[in-house]
Structure 1
Amino acid sequence: MGTGEHDGEGPPPFAEALNLLFDKRRRADGRMFSNEDIAAAIRANGGAITQSYIWMLRNGQRDDPKASHLRALATAFDVPAGYFLDAPVHERVRAELDGRVAQAGASDALLDRVRELSPLHQHLIMVMIEQVGELEKRETDR
């Protein structure tokens, strides 16, 4: 079974859940987080973890992290700690992650198309987006 293919009751194995976060969450520059990126973020928040321990968790060599590590990993990936322990929480977060990835993909495709246009036509697209935004705002204000 690959990442995201867990069929049993309860949350998936820890390594699968953790790897899903590495697959779905991205750095600000769009690249995947490395084990060291996450370890550094945890250390910056006062936690104590190494990139090699994260590697062991991701590869199933360790599968029962301390509660402090679990909370720190959840915080680093901006998910609730229950993501790793509670099946309904895991499924909700996973659905949110899948939606964000799909939305990001659509946004990237739109941006790629706009980049192909001349500056004049890019400006026209920007004006259209602003007008649609105003219409949307009026609809939600009703």
Structure 2
Amino acid sequence: MTSADAPLGRPLVQGFDQRLQGLIETMYPDERKRPGYTRLAKEIREVTGGAISGTYLWELATGKKRNVTLEQLDVLAEFFGVPPEYFLSSEVAERVDAQLKVAIALRDARVRSIALRADGLSAQTLDALLVMVNEARKLERLSPVEDADGGAATNRQPGAQGSGTTD
């Protein structure tokens, strides 16, 4: 039974397995270098001092088990650098996932280079660059990127105020 099949009366466990699996994939993006659950459990023990078995970690990540203890929840949160609420709250998970997307994008030296070079440019120039990047994403058939406020990035007119807030 996957988290999608979780009973409606159990909102705390819905999505736990997907969130855990997503964190593993984020921390180890190269599938060929991703540790198995036994090795990952060993790394978790070494980093946090908390005990969790590889088998139990696999069961949690695949949705086979859902009875995580508060101690294990804290250990997983500490290891992955997320608040414990990440595993229990869709709202917290969405906010953290947005931050993780930024961190993942910044792994690419070219993305970091563009961001660093953009620092200090005027609002009008930044808006013009956003228009260009959005058009490039369309040409490459990439999905739109959401702004930090959670809304889809739009093509602003150069010179328009781009505070990211809505009325």
How many residues matched? 108
Q: Out of 13, 19, 22, which is 2:21 matched to?
A: 19
Q: Could you tell me whether the CA contact under 8 Å between 1:22 and 1:33 is conserved in 2?
A: no
Q: Could you tell me which residue of structure 1 aligns to residue 41 of structure 2? A: 39
Please report how far the alpha carbon of residue 21 of structure 1 lies from its aligned counterpart in structure 2 after TM superposition: 0.4
State the structure with bigger RCO (CA 8 A, min sep 6), 1 or 2: 1
TM-score, with structure 1 as normaliser: 0.60
Cα deviation code 1:18-59 (max 9, x no counterpart): 0110111138xx943432343113322321211111011111
Please report how far the alpha carbon of residue 135 of structure 1 lies from its aligned counterpart in structure 2 after TM superposition: 10
Task: Considering fraction of residues, name the structure with more helix.
Answer: 1
Amino acid at match of 2:52: I
Q: Out of 92, 102, 105, which is 1:102 matched to?
A: 105
Change (3 A) 1:63 1:102: same
Q: Could you tell me which residue of structure 2 aligns to residue 86 of structure 1? A: 89
Gaps of 5+ in 1: 1-7, 112-128
1:75 is aligned to 2:75: no
Change (3 A) 1:71 1:103: same
Gaps of 5+ in 2: 1-7, 121-167
SS of residue matched to 2:106:
helix
TM-score, with structure 2 as normaliser: 0.52
SS of residue matched to 2:20:
helix
Identity of matched residues, %: 29
Amino acid at match of 1:36: T
Q: Could you tell me which residue of structure 2 aligns to residue 116 of structure 1? A: none
- Mapping for residues 106-121 of structure 1, pairs under 5 Å: 107-108=108-109, 110=110
